[in-house]
Amino acid sequence: MQVPVRLQVRGYRLQGILMILEVRAVAPFYKNGFVVGCDRTREAIVIDPGDEAEQLIDAARRHSLNVKYILLTHAHVDHITGVGPAKSAFDAPVYLHRDDLPFYEHAVEQGQMFGLTVRQPPPVDVFYDESPIRFGDYEVLVHHTPGHCPGGVCLDVTDTPHLFVGDTLFAGSIGRTDLPGGNYEVLMRSITQVLFALGDDAIVHPGHGPDTTIHNERTRNPFVLEYLASKP
Ligand SMILES: [Zn+2]
Ligand SMILES: [Zn+2]
């Protein structure tokens, strides 16, 4: 799927510039893995490679993309089982928020909780800091959005409306907060203060299920409405 985006360059709005966006999800988790590429330079990123990693690798090859970074929204096992194959295929550094390192280092044990045999993924190469991550004509801004887990981040691809939120926010739902390190109040602050500040037009790509927009979730998400109503 090629998604037309409007790229803002020095105040001019250029129509028809294409950002390449591929999403795949497979059993058992149906967790979304993404390839995001720059049509002009063929540079790309892979987000959260899981059990669908081979499909993401195929998609990147089909578009002749040079994957520069493997970016993780968090380190729950469904989001990292494909890091090994992705790293072998692309020889790209793996990025994670430092606060999720304990999950990452216990990938095998996380798998056992689901009765799954999981191989320990290769080590994290870089912990996110404030710096944007550049690929082709785009920059990824990394927003720390804890609550579902301590090191959850949302990846904001500028200057496009595309926002990859991991398991923080879903179409009509929110991330679970009953896993270790989860916190409902912290999650709701991440959603309403960090994500909503990015604007109604942002297209939200959750870690599971269909896309949505900030506008949809701000105005219709029952969990968000209940939280906001509870605030003075
Ligand atoms: Zn998760
Ligand atoms: Zn997940």
What is the reported pLDDT for 57? 98
> Which listed ligand is nearest to 100 at the C-alpha?
1
> Which listed ligand is nearest to 32 at the C-alpha?
2
CA–centroid distance, residue 198 to ligand 2 (Å): 22
Ramachandran category for residue 199: left, alpha or beta (phi over 0 → left; psi -120 to 50 → alpha): left
> Which listed ligand is nearest to 146 at the C-alpha?
1
What is the reported pLDDT for 9? 36
CA–centroid distance, residue 161 to ligand 2 (Å): 22
**CATH number of the CATH domain containing 64:** 3.60.15.10
CA–centroid distance, residue 83 to ligand 2 (Å): 14
> Which listed ligand is nearest to 81 at the C-alpha?
2
What is the reported pLDDT for 174? 98
- The CA-CA-CA angle for residues 149, 70, 58, to 5°, reads 120
CA–centroid distance, residue 30 to ligand 1 (Å): 12
CA–centroid distance, residue 8 to ligand 2 (Å): 32
pLDDT per residue as tens, the chain (232 positions): 455 444 433 333 344 567 999 999 999 999 999 999 999 999 999 999 999 999 999 999 999 999 999 999 999 999 999 999 999 999 999 999 999 999 999 999 999 999 999 999 999 999 999 899 999 999 999 999 999 999 999 999 998 999 999 999 999 999 999 999 999 999 999 999 999 999 999 999 999 999 999 999 999 999 999 999 998 8
Ramachandran category for residue 115: left, alpha or beta (phi over 0 → left; psi -120 to 50 → alpha): left
CA–centroid distance, residue 74 to ligand 1 (Å): 7
What is the reported pLDDT for 12? 35
Number of domains composing the chain: 1
Task: Provide the whole-model pTM.
Answer: 0.93
What is the reported pLDDT for 91? 98
CA–centroid distance, residue 167 to ligand 2 (Å): 5
Burial of 76 (0-12, 13-18, 19+ CB in 10 A): buried
Which structural domain range is residue 179 located in? 2-230
